[in-house]
Amino acid sequence: MPPTKDYLTVELKKSVQATNSGIPSSAYLHIPFCRRRCYYCDFPVFVVGDRKNGENSGTIVQYVAVLCQEIEETKNLGASLKTVFFGGGTPSLLSVSQLSNILETLDGKFGIAAEAEISIEIDPGTFTLEQLRGYAAAGVNRVSLGVQAFQDELLQVCGRSHSVADIFEAVEIVRSAGIVNFSLDLISGLPHQTLENWEASLKSAVEISPTHLSSYDLIVEQGTAFGRYFEAGAQPLPADETAAGMYRLAREILTGAGYEHYEISNYARSGYQCRHNRVYWENRPYYGLGMGAASYVEGRRLTRPRKTQEYYQWVRSISGLNSPATPQIGGETQQDIYPATEQNFQVSENDILLETLMLGLRLAEGVSLSALTEKFSQPTVDKIWRCLQPYWRQGWVEIMTEDGAMATLGEGAELPLAGNLRLSDPEGFLFSNTILADLFSKLGEDN
């Protein structure tokens, strides 16, 4: 998965993916191997080169064994898994037997529900038809193909390890393997990218007709090759206005082609929204497993070490902690036992509020006013409304009735008790950083 920016990336003190109380029924597994490192990527990945994958890589063999050990050591809180997501990295570097082994270990530990969504991120040029058929036989029913652009020169600028021809070949393989539910990932805001070639990429993606499309805007991260070569907003990166034009164009072309813009950066055919990612946006709990992965379990967020040896050491350190043969730790989880740090902390009520807003407002439907009131009290919701009124007047914030119609509110009116608070599409989404930064600073002032 590419480390990209979208228009809702206000920095929170500690986190991006939040959780809530409740029993997780979703698991994210990080597979940190890539053929090479893309120039914009700051993910925790391990470069294995062009010839290594699956069982012919001792590194991957060892990692899969440790990951399965981590799964075994994780406390089962009682719900079977309804979504499983293999992200990376390039999880399609796993052999069929490695992927099956991980799924069997998960199933043995938590149980995987019969109707579970099991997704895997795959990159063009890293898998065969036989391999995808094997993945499907093991239970995978959704794939997300990292396409990024349909111009070879842009793929090269990004340091991607595949060509445009590889993209079309990959799509053929996905279809031949009988995987109907597949997503294409695109990136806008690349160096040297123009509105014209962005439009061409969107149209090529639409012609392929996937069930789902993700369209992210590049963020130039410090510590990446792009971070060294380029300055945000300066050429050859598109100007901010052009990048905003790309966002509007994506919405126009993709919704025009029948995709529902259900989340700030995501589009789906009816019935094909990503169920796993909705868990994050709805601020629900999930297991995160593997190097650098974050979990949100029992109100605590725990981020695993981002370096291989440190992650292995960490898994060794939790070994046996949740075993019934270790009575002194009783019902505690690894999260309880691992020292409290920036990587392991109980999410405060205030952070839950901010994250509920930050994540929920990514969704087209926004956040439920009744749920917000129930969870955070009427005065808190009133305060949020006071902060958001200028943006509501501007048309960037909308209040929807329970029937999905736009609520008609007079100046100075109270918020309705039911219905939804959401950002308008596309302008509210485009200016979401501004809106949320202002909202959070005002909520912070009052706390």
**Which residues have CB under 8 Å from 104's CB, separation 6+?**
none
Which one, 159 or 299, has the nearer CB to ligand SF4?
Answer: 159
Q: How far is the CB of 268 from ligand SF4 (least distance, A)?
A: 21
Q: Does 143 bind ligand SF4 (CB under 6 A)?
A: no
CA distances from 188 to 7, 88, 310, 358 (A): 12, 20, 34, 22
Contact window for ligand SF4 (CB under 6 A) among 31-39, 106-114, 202-210, 327-335 = 31-39
Closest CA to 259 of 217, 215, 216, 218: 215
Q: Does 88 bind ligand SF4 (CB under 6 A)?
A: yes
Cα 230–Cα 233–Cα 235 angle in degrees, nearest 5: 60
The structure tokens 């929807």 sit at 400
Q: Does 217 bind ligand SF4 (CB under 6 A)?
A: no
Q: How far is the CB of 87 from ligand SF4 (least distance, A)?
A: 9
Q: How far is the CB of 34 from ligand SF4 (least distance, A)?
A: 3
How many chain residues bind ligand SF4 (CB under 6 A)?
Answer: 13
Which one, 38 or 399, has the nearer CB to ligand SF4?
Answer: 38
Q: How far is the CB of 27 from ligand SF4 (least distance, A)?
A: 19
Q: Does 43 bind ligand SF4 (CB under 6 A)?
A: yes
Q: How far is the CB of 29 from ligand SF4 (least distance, A)?
A: 14
Which one, 146 or 290, has the nearer CB to ligand SF4?
Answer: 146
CA distances from 353 to 102, 148, 374, 389, 428 (A): 35, 33, 12, 18, 20
Contact window for ligand SF4 (CB under 6 A) among 85-93, 241-249, 402-410, 419-427 = 85-93
Q: Does 38 bind ligand SF4 (CB under 6 A)?
A: yes
Q: Does 34 bind ligand SF4 (CB under 6 A)?
A: yes
Q: Does 125 bind ligand SF4 (CB under 6 A)?
A: no
Which one, 86 or 376, has the nearer CB to ligand SF4?
Answer: 86
**Which residues have CB under 8 Å from 235's CB, separation 6+?**
none
Closest CA to 314 of 296, 302, 323: 302
List the beta bridge partners of residue 118: 84
Q: Does 184 bind ligand SF4 (CB under 6 A)?
A: no
Long-range pairs, 34-37, Cβ under 8 A, ≥24: 34/88, 34/89, 34/90, 34/93, 34/123, 34/161, 35/90, 35/93, 35/123, 35/125, 35/126, 35/161, 36/159, 36/161, 37/159, 37/225
**Residues near ligand SF4, by CB under 6 A:** 1-2, 34, 37-38, 41, 43, 45, 88-90, 123, 146
